[in-house]
Homo-oligomer: A and B are copies of this chain.
């Protein structure tokens, strides 16, 4: 009789593995009413967008500023309207932007789910303490979504 809620889930963080695709296919297989959103995950585009559109910079600091200004429009808008924010920390790089997004989401009172290898448990303790759940795999995230949204527990 009533239209079911359609959920918005933002997938923040690591962009060098296929974890977003795994969640997307899991969500599709489960038939969950979810729109998945994400930052621009093309690394080169994300780095170069500012200068490509608005003109070159000699100083890399300002090149980065122009790019991150554009990326922030997308990221913050999507986080602000997300029902759930999932943040993945991968094995490589410092990934400060992932932690920044987690802090941003936490301050807005967004439900937060973190995904990372157990070896990062101690380094991420402040972030995990702000999260509703900490998973290790994309499959667990799909199960969380199926439970939270549809009440399904395998």
Contacts and interface: CB of A to CB of B under 8 A. Distances in A.
A143 to B, nearest CB: 5
Contacts of A109: 109
A23 interface: no
Contacts of A61: 118, 121, 128, 134
Contacts of A111: 72-73, 76-77
A140 B69 contact: no
A78 B73 CA distance: 18
A6 interface: yes
Interface in A115-133: 118, 120-133
A62 B64 contact: no
A52 interface: yes
Contacts of A106: 100, 103-104, 107
Interface of A: 1-7, 28, 34-37, 40-42, 45, 48-50, 52-54, 57-62, 64-78, 81, 83-84, 89, 93-109, 111, 113, 118, 120-135, 140, 143-144, 147-149, 151, 153-154
23 contacts: A2-B6, A3-B6, A57-B59, A59-B62, A61-B128, A68-B126, A70-B132, A70-B133, A70-B147, A70-B148, A73-B111, A73-B144, A76-B111, A77-B84, A77-B111, A96-B96, A96-B123, A96-B126, A97-B125, A98-B99, A99-B99, A103-B107, A104-B107
A-B CB proximity, top 5 nearest: A103-B103, A107-B107, A99-B99, A68-B129, A2-B35
